[in-house]
Chains A and B, each alone.
Chain A
Amino acid sequence: MSEIMAQSQSIVNEEGQSLWADAWFRLKKNHLAVLGLCFLVFEMMLFFGVPLISTVGYEAQNLELTLAAPSFQHWLGTDTLGRDLFQRLLYGGRISLTVGILASLVSAIVGVIYGSVAGFLGGKIDGFLMRVVDVLYALPFIFLVIILMVYFGRNLILLFVALGLTQWLTMARIVRGQVLSLRHKEFIEAAKSLGIRQRKIVLRHLIPNTLGAVIVYLTLTVPSVILEEAFLSYLGLGVQAPMASWGTLIKEGVDVMDQAPWLLFFPALCLSTTLFSLNFLGDGLRDALDPKGAKD
């Protein structure tokens, strides 16, 4: 008996592994996605590793060496207050990525809950909830975010919550579609016939099964949030000094671009390569995790 148990256990394990192993195998074949992943890992190591070993802070001013060109001492030059651009880029990157990831998580939480509730309950409630999503799709949320940022002060928490709340609509649609196709599967029937509560079915059985699609869309949400944050920061409505994000660095670079073009070039390069990598990784993950998934 125990042998059979062990055997079936190993089969289950093997299949459990094979989904992710299979996805990893497929992802590895996508060179652009792997390149993106490597770049992001390298970037993360720089962002979080360099401040630990470096002696110069991102705020350290040197008013005798302003707008200096790239040199051995300051690899990417200095800005109008003589601050080291390399350090500021790393710091800005940390803020940009943090906002991007946290806001995407906010959007994922809202979207997953909304979508799974709509898909699981079905019928009229589902129709109504999805109609609301359709209507919200047509609203330009960025205007509401701008108003919010202006009136309620520009703090970081409000920023990523607000940005996250603009992004959950597509997530809700994707999760609802997944749940809709899952909820008549046998294992849900089994769970229902065992008398498990609805809430538990959704949390323990439905949502975990939508995880692949959620991860894929999460990866694609991060770059769009980073871009929105940069957009707001460029307008002076996002991250405030002395904090910096890539958006504020680009803004500062634009102001002095005729004297020191590198102050615009390097932040712009960082922002676009990161957005690029995230998009490639997201596309790669979509093909790997969800081969039949629709592009949405």
Chain B
Amino acid sequence: MSLKYLLGRLAVMVPVFFLVVTLVFFMIRFAPGGPFSSEKSVSPAILKNLEAKYHMDEPLSRQYLHYLKDLLHGDLGPSFKHANRTVNEIIAEALPVSLELGLLSLTWALMIGICAGGLAALKPNTSWDYIPMSFAILGICLPTFVVGPVLVLVFGVWLQWLPVAGWESWQDRVLPSLTLGFAYAAYISRLTRGGLMEIRMQDFIRTARAKGLSESDILLKHSLRGGLLPVISYLGPALAGIITGALVTETIFNIPGLGRFFIESAVNRDYTVVMGTSLLYFTLIFVCNFLVDIFYALLDPRVKYV
């Protein structure tokens, strides 16, 4: 993979990022209503002061340039609804929560998915294969907003093993991350199974078997690297999906992460928070896809980007 290709991709990101900034900025501003329109009985004088404070009395183009200038300095502006808090502060608080949730979910997805898929590929057409693969189909067709509440009902309300909401102790982490990771575990197990089954037929595996290697040695040392390629290429979409899925998961479990702030601020017309959080989401997804592509090229010598 050439450095030129990497730089080229990074270079494309810059104009796209500004396109997104512009699009979101004007989409929000042209919409009817404003952050102060729902405030109960604000006197015109206070409203005027509020608008002056947030530069809302200036023409839109000035506001836009103002926002861009602050953005270049890494300043996302003050929140309109959370008094005395800046968007940077809100993100600094919410981002670690969301990252933790996302990484935990991805870990679950990879662990469960690869184990189940590997097992199924080792003993195809037995119950080791059928049972996990039936669960996988279930996982793919049930959306997060069904799986989450059902897990809450069973483990939180009926069995009372785990807390139903919040984000304090480690027990709080279990249900949300399982909920979010479940569908991806399902996909990954199918991809793992498919990848490994395909590799099994290859000549170099037959050679390894002829050498007298044990099945588990063949799996770990020879099949996995090639067999996991479909999983790696799926990681990009999976990460994007986990980031989006976190919107619902954070709502279900009342987790103070980015997703909840995004939805809440969108509903409240908290302009700067909506801008800040959505820009962060776009950047996150860009970076994730980029890293996954690099990783994929490192793992598969056949892939050459030019």
* A interface residues with partner B (beta carbon < 8 Å): 135, 138-140, 142-144, 146-148, 150-152, 227, 230-231, 234-235, 237, 247, 250-251, 253-254, 257-258, 261, 264, 268, 271-272, 275-276, 279
Contacts and interface: CB of A to CB of B under 8 A. Distances in A.
Nearest to B153: A257
Contacts of A230: 143, 145
A190 to B, nearest CB: 37
Q: Is the interface of A mostly helix, strand, loop or mixed?
A: helix
A50 B145 CA distance: 28
User: Which 6 pairs show the lowest CB-CB distances between chains A and B?
Assistant: A151-B31, A254-B149, A268-B146, A150-B266, A272-B141, A234-B145
Contacts, number: 89
By CB atoms of chain A within 10 A, which of B27, B28, B141, B289 has the most? B141
A258 B20 CA distance: 42
B167 interface: no
Contacts of A253: 149
A231 to B, nearest CB: 7
A143 B267 contact: no
B27 A148 contact: yes
Interface of B: 12, 16, 20, 23-24, 27-28, 31-33, 141-143, 145-146, 149-150, 153, 157, 240, 243-244, 247-248, 251-252, 262-263, 266-267, 269, 274, 278, 281-282, 285-286, 289
A144 B266 contact: no
Contact of B278 (A135, A143, A257, A268): A143
B252 to A, nearest CB: 8
Contacts of A146: 247, 262-263, 266
30 contacts: A135-B12, A138-B286, A138-B289, A139-B285, A140-B240, A140-B243, A140-B281, A140-B285, A142-B244, A144-B23, A147-B28, A147-B274, A148-B27, A150-B267, A151-B32, A151-B269, A152-B31, A152-B32, A230-B145, A231-B248, A235-B247, A237-B263, A247-B145, A250-B145, A250-B146, A253-B149, A254-B145, A254-B149, A261-B153, A264-B150
Nearest to B277: A143
B248 A234 contact: yes
A206 B263 CA distance: 43
